[in-house]
Amino acid sequence: MTFDSWKESVPEAITADSLWKMKAYRLALFASDACWRDVKNIVQKRTMRSLADQLYRSVGVGECKHSRR
């Protein structure tokens, strides 16, 4: 999956949001989607579950680090 091909698959509900104009936002969403694809494959091996969890958390999926202030 390339960034350009991924952008074409993003729903309009996301691309219509004003945040979509920010490159950092688009790249973060792309990273989380790419990560999720890897995590789904890794987690299937029982011994790799902690690695999958670490990978998923490392891209900050599901949280905003600045919101903890």
**What are 39-67's pLDDT values in tens digits?**
888 888 888 888 888 888 887 765 544 33
Q: What is the pLDDT of residue 44?
A: 86
Q: Where are the domains of the chain?
A: 3-60
d(CA 6, CA 3): 5
Contacts of 39 (CB under 8 A, 6+ apart): 52, 55, 56
Mean pLDDT of 22-37: 90
